[in-house]
Structure 1
Amino acid sequence: MAQREKGFGLSREIANKINAKYDADDEKTVVAWIASVIHYNGAVPSGKDAVHTWLRDGNILCSVINTLKPGTIRKVHKWDEFTATPSYEKNKEQENISFFLKAADDFGVQKTDLFQTVDLYEQQNMAQVLSTIYKLDSAAQKKGYSTGATIGVKIADKNVRNHDEAKLKEGRNVIGLQMGTNQTASQKGMTAYGLGRQLTPQ
């Protein structure tokens, strides 16, 4: 029996658009960066489903944060797969992800750049997960936390200019081009608005 896609109509259309944003090259870059940062010795995952499974319990993501800045996440949940109940395991996995998101926010990642827990846990938007990890590296570089490998664009420092009051007042004497100019075209010789065109007989 063929496996049916989840959702229908608009829901499926939105899901397809989100899935289309997932880039295999970004996946390879992010996975290689994570493996380098935490010195991962296991088999590196390949493919969206494999990466989802690798990151889903939040342990890898928490390890990344704690490698960039040791002690950021003090207690990462781990459990014995033979004794943990499914509901306990699900709760603790999601809690690990929330630890990572809180730490990423503290690092300086904008809230609008963070993925939601369901984006990773339920594999709703893996493209956003990869994007957040890029942004995390950018924010970490800005704060001076780095392990050598970088994938994110370094965020520029603010270039604050402090002008004195006299300099600021000088700017008020300049007429900006947005206010118009009297040096080019004019209405000289044009018929006034509302009057008929004046025709002179030849």
Structure 2
Amino acid sequence: MSNFRASKSGLAADIEKKLEAKLDELEEEGVPQAIVDWINAVLDDQADVCESAHWKDIHEFLKDGSRLCRVMNAVGDSEDGIPQIKCSRNQSAFFCMDNIGKFLKTAEAYGVKRNDLFQTSDLYEGVKGPFVNVLTMLHALGLVSKSKYYLPEYCGRGALAQENKRGFTDDEIRAQSASVLPKQSAASHGLASQAGMRAPGTGRHIAD
């Protein structure tokens, strides 16, 4: 799907480059590897593992949302008031994005801050820049589960952040938001839940 995206220019292109650079930083810090190790441990299925911590492989493994729902069901099982997610294995965009939306809603109920949630398109479309939001959110989910003493324990570095630090100016955020509004509008007429949507670039900074 990402092969057919129009090229960005101006502020939108600058923001995308900053997001891509942030993803590269997370890879250097070992965050994607910690996320993959934890998800594989939670799923505990030797026949169904993510074998690489490269962001493209993580995207392919998680993009239909079903494995994320299974992870959320596992970590939320011991928490009162956290509903079990009924996910679909249907591979159409509608059902995949519906799975992702359910996962985001339940993750927020579990304790992930709303500002840490990614947009459904950040995961489903698999574009490098916005995918940093997926990694940031999964890191936050792992830290929340760690704070609740869930086992297997998430081993990513850092602690839960207490404030939202933005890396972009208001003008940059407005420019990026304007560039995705037409796509979101079209998706709202043909696709399922857009839960967890926010302006790209507003994800929480991962503390060292």
Give the TM-score, by structure 2 length.
0.61
Superposition pairs for residues 143-162 of structure 1, below 5 Å? 143-144=148-149, 146-151=150-155, 153=158
Question: In the alignment, is the contact (CA less than 8 A) between 1:58 and 1:94 conserved in 2?
Answer: yes
Structure 1 residue runs without a partner (length 5+): 82-88, 157-202
Q: 1:58 aligns with which of 54, 65, 69?
A: 65
Instruction: Report what 1:18 is aligned to.
Output: 19
Superposition pairs for residues 1-202 of structure 1, below 5 Å? 6-22=7-23, 23-24=26-27, 25-41=30-46, 42-70=49-77, 72-79=83-90, 89-124=92-127, 125-144=130-149, 146-151=150-155, 153=158
Q: Distance in 1 between matches of 2:35 and 2:50?
A: 15
Give the TM-score, by structure 1 length.
0.63
Larger RCO (CA under 8 A, 6+ residues apart): 2
Shift of 1:33: 0.9
Q: Secondary structure at the match of 1:75?
A: coil
Aligned length: 145
Query: What is the identity, as a one-letter code, of the residue corresponding to 1:132?
Result: M
Q: Distance in 2 between matches of 1:9 and 1:53?
A: 30
Q: String of CA shifts for 1:58-77, please: whole Å, max 9, x gaps.
A: 01111111111338333111
Q: Which has the larger radius of gyration?
A: 1
Distance 1:12 1:105, change over 3 A: same
Shift of 1:8: 2.6
Structure 2 residue runs without a partner (length 5+): 162-208
Question: Percent identity, aligned pairs only?
Answer: 30
Question: In the alignment, is the contact (CA less than 8 A) between 1:107 and 1:143 conserved in 2?
Answer: no
Instruction: Report what 2:171 is aligned to.
Output: none
CA RMSD of aligned residues (A): 2.6
Question: In the alignment, is the contact (CA less than 8 A) between 1:142 and 1:154 conserved in 2?
Answer: no
